[in-house]
Structure 1
Amino acid sequence: MFFGNRLKTIRLENGLTQENLGKLIGVGKVTISKWESGMTVPNAHHLSKLEQTFLVERDYFDEFYDLTSSYRSLNATNQQRVVDFSNDLLRNQGNIINLFRYKILDDIRLSAGRGQALGNEFESRTVYSDKLYDYDVATWIRGDSMSPHYESGEVALIRETGYDYEGAVYAVVWNDETYIKKVFREKNGIRLVSINKEYKDMFAPFSDEPKVVGRVIGHFFPMEA
């Protein structure tokens, strides 16, 4: 494909106006302008005249000239390397995955076991997932009491909804510890239920002022960026 910008560049480098070049080629300056802007392309005769005028290679005005010129300068071994590398790039190009960033609180660890102390200030780091979630807080899951649905080492994504429906999985703060459990409201408190049947239910009386922070709306193992 003829690359008009290359014609414009070499014309200016040689100090020629569109009118000057047109006279050398045998066309008007409007034709040169159209070639340079990409509106039209020269026919084989005029293309040959351009190559002769500027003393350039046959495919100099091709849009891929820089690539093909470099390729032809390589020996056979390096030409094959270029082909192999290009094929690898093409394969990888089809495997590109959009990743979304999540800021994770490192020092709050939602307990899928006995609970972890909850403080006010925490360090954080960024991890990635190929899914986009609408969430308020993200942190780590540790322990196996919520397996097989929630695994240790996953990121838990929490939306600060408070308590909205029975039996959903929530982040709960109770006695300065944070738990991830299925929550059921009872007359005198809330019951924290594990998915893993090896763990007994826990009961948090209202007198302890347990706080349902929000519902766990997603979880994932981080991906490499």
Structure 2
Amino acid sequence: MFANNLKYLREKHNMDQLDLAIKLGRKSSSSVSEWEKGKYTPKIGVLNDIAEIFNVSITDLMNKDLSLETESRDGLLRIYDKLKPNRQKIVYETAEQQYNEQNNVIELPTNNEVEIHGAVSAGTGEYLLDGKPELVPYDGEVPPHDFALVVNGDSMLPLFEDKQIIFVNKTKDVRSGQIVIADYDQQAYVKKLIKDDNGCRLVSLNKKYDDMPIDDNHEMSIFGVVVL
């Protein structure tokens, strides 16, 4: 997702690869080219710089298809501009109603409690769903989910911090590029699942951690997909 978003944002802002490289303090475009090909992801400091240049959040940069989001918004505005004033009014009132209903749904009282079903490792491995779920305070939006976990470790920075609560939907049907909860050699991890010409593997966003190959030498199953 990052590679596609980087290319999309660069072209949207009428930059070539060298333009972006210079803004990032680099003398050549080779790194930008490799990022856009998906060969590797830059370190957190560079990700911060890229996010600031294009005025997006790191979370969106890493996980949302920004081209679809922009195309939908721009398409809606094009249609709106072609409507007669009386129909524009209907569109505006409908959008306002949807916005108000959305706020009523997601506004939550303080001191919410979430059932935590154990810890999942972003580093050396944990065993989750062990014992009775624990109710813990949670101050934030709680999305629809099947179970919640606590992240231990820093291998999924900048997306997930150590001790962050994450929400998971149970499924075994996953796609390459999704963030999953996986049982890998009898220990539970939160990782990015990658399937490409180099094979299948579990990948950390923090590049100081090695990839975890999915092959006949390792046991692996999926608990679910993280809600983002």
Under TM normalisation by the shorter chain, which class is it? Answer: 0.3 to 0.5
Larger % of helix: which?
2
Task: Give the TM-score normalised by structure 1.
Answer: 0.48
Task: Normalising by structure 2, report the TM-score.
Answer: 0.47
